[in-house]
Structure 1
Amino acid sequence: EAAVAAVAGGAQSRGQTATSLSHAPASRLRLEVKNASRRDEQASAATVGLPLPAPRPPSRVYLAHLDYMAKYPSTGPENPRSVRSAWLSKSVRQSDKQSRDDELGAMLLQAGWREADAPVGLQVPGADVAAPILTGNAWHWGRGRCPEACARNGGVCLPELGRCDCPRNRWGPSCEVLVQPAVARPERFHGWCVYNDSSPWFCDKPICTHDSPKSVSLRTSPSADLHASRCLGAPVSECEHNCSYHGVCTANGGTRRCKCFPGYRGAACELATVAHCVHNCFGRGQCDEGFCKCKPPYFGVDCSLVPSPNQQQSSLLGTIDSPLRRAADCVAPCVYVYELPARMNVLALKAEPQFGFFVHGPADYRAFKAMHLSLLRSPHRTADPARASYFYVPTWDFHGSWGNPELYWRAHRYVRTHWPFWNASGGADHIWTVTRDAAACATPWGSLWEPLNSSIVLSNWGAVTGLGGVPTERCFDARRDLVVPGVLHPSKVKLSPFLPFFAKSNGSHAAAAAADTAGLWEKRKTLLFFHGSICWQTYDRVHSMEELRRKCARKHGFIDHYSFGVRYEVYRRFKDEPRFLLRATEFIPPPPSLNLDQAMLTSVFCLCPSGTGWGMRAFHAAVLGCIPVVVQDDGSGTYPSVLQAFEGLLLDWDEFSVRLRFDQLPSLPRLLRALESDEAAMRAKRLALARAATR
């Protein structure tokens, strides 16, 4: 809800800034954004019901970003300060004079992308075209043409496009082919295994059956060549109960045994381990390793949609029929959530159906899941594109720190060629969530400039620089993008000293701030706490400070500016400072075992530097009542400091954190002790922290 409010309250005004005011003086930019933000924050608060703060001017860091974008309005390849993505990768770059087309071609090839992997498909309703067509990692028959066999074989039809989405272990135009999914094979751990429409057997491999004992063939379209692949194992019918269609029938002499896919066990793979589906399919279908096998007429990623009347002529996605929201009308601003093919989100190659959506281990890179689920049940959601102010593209990108960008290229091509809404706005009203370390900034694996240059990006990294400490294509643009918090594990949130006050006050953020007078700060004896790696590579171990110095001086190409050097500078200066608990994890022997949550709960301040990009420390510290000390700039003054979550529009981080520049680090102990001794200033910080943490 906060993200929708912030987008509505700021992105519209920033969108105006990006178009009509892109060459305006910085002073005019400030005035326009200030006035528009105040108006839209008030409107959003009334619409969404959020207890937004009183209108205020954008923060100083936000204004610094606007100043920077006024001087360098493009984050694309034509910007002289934006390093070309090919500069970052010797494997891609051929010469200084390489054309942009050649550069893109090299990146696409490196990512496993082919133009043939995204045919236009069936765009015109009722068109007299041959079908089915494999495009966007799903089979399309055309509006109203999805065969009944799709549902019989465990698939789900999207009426709007006549698309048949298949579960993990099924493939083919009607999900008629049993396959061993890529998640059961080693290549899922390598970058070259991506779903390729032009090569239907590139990742998933067919399983031998009685009808196809040696090989299986498919056409990606009626006019395409036949794609044949040897099938795996003995015919599955020769194994007990056909391995429940969840395993390969292996032959060892005259013995037949089932080799089960991940998520299944038992002699006949008849036992499924616990898997999690979006909203548990609302009880309208079977959860199959993250995929909702909806019972007709329901469809959608969570079975929350039913076909609209006159679906053949309607432009509606369907009608929302969700137990979480019965109202037919959406609350403005309305957001249309695309129903992408399942292999772009819930069945992505590294999907994690074994983990609950907010209870899994690597939660810090999973904001894309949280955003998707929240929008599906939000009162802002609409299935009528005519009512939508924004369009959300729900890709699930499990690469974490960085990796292959092909998922975004595929989703962009799919949305642009199967629906008219992208082309109507040039993508300016489309929203993506990118949770990689440096968000959408280009990396050696490729650039996201082409698919995302005109859209709104929700990310955890608010910097104009990428992994190498320099601007790269499609880094953060404060005029349209928004920084959102990471997904903090519920076990951490439950420890927050603010929650009891928040709960007793029926969700009042102001009342939660009463924790300041409840004696919760008396046990905080550590002045400054930090635990983590000091330099890249994080897993390289050292025995002494001299080895650490050499490690931190080592060059790593595109990632030479790990934490902007802040971690090393603080550690080398103050590792022995009284009341400073600074723990470097790369030392041998490592620091003694410590409960990090309890360490934060007993610390006054927590150091929150960046790493390869964004990190969870700032959110973790704030929730546990430890005042974040944010130092996220390189000290050169060339680029603005990293913008934090919701900063500039909904939150002012200067109120509840300690924001320092790199050149202030030598004075860090003096500054913190001076602040700690100022009772009025500390009370103000803690009151602001309580309000912000519970929001």
Structure 2
Amino acid sequence: MRIIKSSRLLLLIYAIVYFLLPSSNAYSGLFNSERCSFSTGDWCETFLKQKPVTWKPAPRDNKDCPSTKYGQCNGVGNCNAASGLCECPAPFYGTDCSVVRKRPCTRGPPNAATWSPENPESFIGADKRDLNWTVSPAGSYSRCAGICDDNLAICYCDGPQGRINAPDDSPPGTPPLQRGRPLCTMHRAPSKTYDGAPAFGDQPYDAVYGRDGWCNSTTPSVQLGCEIDDLMPPFCDAAKEAYCPGQCSGHGECDLGFCRCDPGYYGTDCSRLRKGGVTTSDRFATRPWLAAAVAAPAGAA
């Protein structure tokens, strides 16, 4: 009991010193030395004695970024008006986001002797399908028993509920005609081919590609899981809000972790408005689940 009372008394003394003597030696002695008791030298107390820096909004900038015929940053990236540099989503990179580094689905670890960013390991054909289900090795998390999105190495179903990619001559970043249900990893792939030959997956063939299978039926007899951040179970047909930095501050769309900013906005979280940019309404009014959790940052000066 005495220990508890002594602790309370000590806390009361600290509080009085904190509020009444914020710039005194007593304040420094009681608080700074305690906080810095495990540090070496005087850097810690020197840091704590600094005067607070007055916050002010970041300045607006208006630098342009490298362009292609599709626009600044190849029409797929965000132009950082402060640096004049493009911020590119995968699989695009380069000063103008025009270089593509594909991430094809494959059947095993890459061969260190032959792999390069420009020539990645692959086991899919031009139609984005696995070259041969019966070829070993069997286990590979990046192997695909459907249609591979080789921009991100994500596997989707083939068939009625499957993926239909955009035409090859589409502008960069064009979304697929049909996204399709995910079919990620060998744990959701068939263990046999349609004619009974051993394949690389773990599921019965009919569970995936049978009449009531995951990739064929609107109400399949099994649920193989969505796995991807922005798809809603049980059948992955409905979208949900994906996670992005600051949820793009209400001024961009979240695309699997990358904020695609509205015109005039930039930054990792789309919180900066370029100089001369026109302020647009945020999305919080139409997305109450965001309004309750995300605070839009103060506007730039």
| Larger-Rg structure | 2
TM-score computed with the length of structure 2 as normaliser: 0.37
TM-score computed with the length of structure 1 as normaliser: 0.19
- RCO (CA 8 Å, sep 6+): is it higher in 1 or 2? 1
